[in-house]
Amino acid sequence: MGAEHHSKAFAPAPRADGRINLVGLSREELEATLTAAGLEKFRARQVWHWIYYRGVTDFAAMTTLAKPAREKLAEHFVVDRPVAVKDLQSEDGTRKWLCRFHDGQEVEAVHIPEEDRGTLCVSSQVGCTLTCRFCHTGTQLLVRNLRADEIVSQVMLARDALGEWPSPPEGRMLSNIVMMGMGEPLFNYDNVAKALKIVMDGEGIAISKRRITLSTSGVVPMMKRCGAELGVNLAVSLHAVNDELRSRIVPINRKYPLAELMEAVRTYPGLNNARRVTWEYVMLKGVNDSLADARELVRLIRGIPSKINLIPFNPWPGAPFECSDWSQIQRFSDFVNEAGYASPIRTPRGKDILAACGQLKSESQRPTASQRAAQMEVHKALAAEYAARVAEKEAALSLG
């Protein structure tokens, strides 16, 4: 899939009321936007502080700015948040928000609290470009990419709800971010990168790159750029250890097979024993959970600084799989552990509110026939391209 999937980021479009949302603009864009409205350049730093360090949405409350400046800001701009149309709390403390944006599209964001910290799972697309068979989001056709402001504002909405403005340096309940919500983040790279740079900025939300993990299903061409530009931790949706099975349950494997994926991970910038890749491996009964699979997994990742997250499959309505038996998951984990790789079994969180891994889905649909046709064309093109590559390889082999 080429560049058409990476939407252009700047040129903030005014809302229906003509005002511009300042959330999601980079520092340079914020400065340009404010000066274009006749405000002094230095105001940009002040406004950045109030929006991202203090979480203020009302310009009148930005008391370090002169009153005329605050009035001008309120005239031209807004500090937007999505509407939390649902705010669900699980008995295990996990919290899920259904976030609705201006055009009515919705995504889910999930907060998973631990003893002294907490992780926010953030979405990057409405629906998903891909159709991984074990994933609820995969059953929802892609509606659209999220813009940078819509990605950042999931973090801000969660901070509002957790009461973490200004954010304490220690003991934060929103201390880590995983780009593991709805969507394939590397198919919306420009907006995801822009949003994460805002989140990582030390004078605002200030969540360090070491506490951010981006999970990809294997968009090989974008992985190096992500590592080089953002420096965030990498997680890969692996879920199978041979091309035949992986191409069935993680269809992007038809485009970027395991050999290419392994090479892209091996060369991911900054990967080392202190910053290992996380392989996500959903445990599907009788599909990918045998000890032979465990053995092949160990062989596949040899030499790559790795940890494996074993994810007991979380069922969703209509799901075509069952979760492996716990005893089999334990055997699989022991085998991989004994081979020298940490392979903790992820405790499902928020299952009672469909907030667990692979359970996210919003009702946002754009069920037009042309959309379906376009999506089918994408898949057909993928398969055709892959078939052509296989034929080419085979031709080369026969030539060899």
Residues annotated as catalytic are 108, 357
Q: How far is the CB of 6 from ligand SF4 (least distance, A)?
A: 16
**Of residues 237, 278, 314, 324, which one binds ligand SF4 by CB under 6 A?**
237
Show the binding pattern over residues 171-210: x = contacts ligand SF4 (CB under 6 A), - = does not. Answer: -----------xxx--------------------------
Q: Closer to ligand SF4 at the Cβ: 177 or 182? A: 182
Distance between CA atoms of residues 257 and 220, nearest Å:
9
Q: Shortest distance, CB of residue 128 to ligand SF4, whole angstroms?
A: 3
Binding string, residues 323-342; x marks residues near ligand SF4 by CB under 6 A: --------------------
- Binding positions for ligand SF4, 105-134, rule CB under 6 A: 128, 130-132
Q: How far apart are CA 347 and CA 245, in angstroms?
A: 25
Residue nearer to ligand SF4 on the CB measure, 237 or 314: 237
- The smaller minimum CB distance to ligand SF4, of residues 138 and 350, is found at 138
By CB neighbour count within 10 A (0-12 exposed, 13-18 middle, 19+ buried), where does 54 fall? Answer: middle
Minimum gap (Å) between residue 354 Cβ and ligand SF4 = 14
The site for ligand SF4, by CB under 6 A, has a size of 12
Alpha helices in 304-361 (DSSP H): 326-338
137 lies in the site for ligand SF4, by CB under 6 A: yes
Half-sphere exposure of 187 (CA within 13 A, CB side): 22
Q: Does 218 bind ligand SF4 (CB under 6 A)?
A: no
Closest CB to ligand SF4 among residues 237, 278: 237
Q: Which is nearer to ligand SF4, 23 or 182 (CB)?
A: 182
Tell me if 217 contacts ligand SF4 by CB under 6 A: yes
Specify the pairing of strand 233-237 against strand 212-216: parallel
Based on the shown chain and the rule CB under 6 A, indicate whether residue 359 belongs to the binding site for ligand SF4. no
For strands 83-89 and 118-121, give the pairing.
unpaired
Q: Which is nearer to ligand SF4, 69 or 130 (CB)?
A: 130
Give the amino acid at 182. Answer: M
Least separation in angstroms between residue 157's CB and ligand SF4 is 20
Residue ranges in 272-301 that form contacts with ligand SF4 under rule CB under 6 A: none
Spell out the residues 6+ positions from residue 128 whose beta carbon is closer than 8 angstroms to its own: 135, 137, 138, 140, 142, 182, 183, 184
Q: Which residues contact 189 (CB under 8 A, 6 or more apart)?
A: 6, 222, 225, 226
Q: Which residues of 355-394 are buried (b: 16+ CB within 10 A; e: fewer)?
A: bbbbbbbbebeeeeeeeeeeeeeeeeeeeeebeeeeeeee
**Is 138 among the residues that bind ligand SF4 (CB under 6 A)?**
yes
Least Å distance, CB 379 to ligand SF4, is: 13
* 146 contacts ligand SF4 (rule: CB under 6 A): no
DSSP state of 226: H
Nearer Cβ to ligand SF4 (59/187) = 187
> Are the C-beta atoms of 274 and 314 separated by less than 8 Å?
no
What residue type is 11 in one-letter code?
A
For residue 391, give both structure tokens: 């034929």
Q: How far is the CB of 146 from ligand SF4 (least distance, A)?
A: 13
Residue 236 near ligand SF4 by CB under 6 A: no
Structure-token match 């892959």, residue found: 386
Shortest distance, CB of residue 184 to ligand SF4, whole angstroms? 4
> Which residues neighbour 147 within 8 Å (Cβ) at sequence distance 6 or greater?
7, 9, 24, 191
Give the C-alpha distances (Å, rounded to integers) separating 270 from 85, 156, 225, 370: 39, 28, 12, 42
Residues engaged in binding ligand SF4 (CB under 6 A): 128, 130-132, 135, 137-138, 182-184, 217, 237
